[in-house]
Amino acid sequence: MRREGKITIFGDDHEPECLDQMRRICEDDDVYGAVLCGDAHFGYSVPVGGVVAYRDKINVNGVGFDIACGNEAVRVNADATEVRKDIYRTMNEIQKHISFGIGRKNNERVEHELFDDPVWDILPFLALLKDKARSQLGTVGSGNHYVDLFVDERDNVWIGVHFGSRGLGYTIASEFIKAGGGVDGINAKPVLFDVNSDLGQQYLMCMELAGRYAYAGRSWVCERVAQILRADILEEVHNHHNFAWNERHKDSNGQDQDLWVVRKGSTPAFPGQKGFVGSSMGEVSVIIEGAERDKWPNDVFYSTVHGAGRVMGRTAAVGKTKNGRVVKEGRVKRDEHEAWMQRAGVEVRGGGLDESPYCYKRLPDVLKAHGNSIKVLHWLVPIGVCMADARERDPYKD
The beta-strand segments (E) located in 265-373 are: 267-268, 274-277, 285-290, 303-304, 319-322, 325-329, 347-351
Domain membership of residue 109 (yes or no) is yes
Q: Which helix (H) or strand (E) holds 127?
A: helix 124-136
Q: For strands 146-151 and 256-264, give the pairing.
A: unpaired
- Tens of pLDDT, residue by residue over 230-249, are 999 999 999 999 999 999 99
Q: CA angle 234-240-241, nearest 5°? A: 130
Domain membership of residue 251 (yes or no) is no
Nearest to 305 by CA among 284, 273, 278, 281: 278
Q: What is the CATH number of the domain that holds 369?
A: 3.90.1860.10
Q: Total structural domains in the chain?
A: 1
Residue 297 in this model has a pLDDT that exceeds 90: no
> For residue 327, what pLDDT is reported?
84
- Tens of pLDDT, residue by residue over 96-153, are 999 998 888 888 888 899 999 999 999 999 999 999 999 999 999 998 999 999 999 9
| Average pLDDT of span 182-202 | 95
- Separation of alpha carbons 111 and 105, rounded Å: 14
- Separation of alpha carbons 264 and 67, rounded Å: 9
- Separation of alpha carbons 380 and 151, rounded Å: 6
Residue 396 in this model has a pLDDT that exceeds 60: no
3-state SS assignment for residue 239: strand
Residue 397 in this model has a pLDDT that exceeds 60: no
Q: Which helix (H) or strand (E) holds 21?
A: helix 16-25
Nearest to 302 by CA among 290, 314, 316: 290
Segment among 72-76, 199-203, 324-328 with least mean pLDDT:
324-328
Domain membership of residue 95 (yes or no) is yes
Q: pTM for this one?
A: 0.94
Nearest to 308 by CA among 241, 352, 357: 357
- Structural domain of residue 80, as residue ranges? 62-187+195-237+270-389
Helices (H) and strands (E) in the chain, counts: 10, 20
Q: CA angle 215-217-222, nearest 5°? A: 95
Domain membership of residue 180 (yes or no) is yes
Euclidean distance between the first and final Cα of the chain, in Å? 25
- Tens of pLDDT, residue by residue over 5-45, are 999 999 999 999 999 999 999 999 999 999 999 999 999 99
Do 89 and 76 contact (CB within 8 A), yes or no? no
Residue 275 in this model has a pLDDT that exceeds 70: yes
Domain membership of residue 256 (yes or no) is no
Domain membership of residue 29 (yes or no) is no
> For residue 184, what pLDDT is reported?
82
> For residue 325, what pLDDT is reported?
82
Residue 395 in this model has a pLDDT that exceeds 60: no
- Separation of alpha carbons 18 and 23, rounded Å: 9
Domain membership of residue 215 (yes or no) is yes
Do 360 and 308 contact (CB within 8 A), yes or no? yes
- Separation of alpha carbons 378 and 350, rounded Å: 26
Domain membership of residue 8 (yes or no) is no
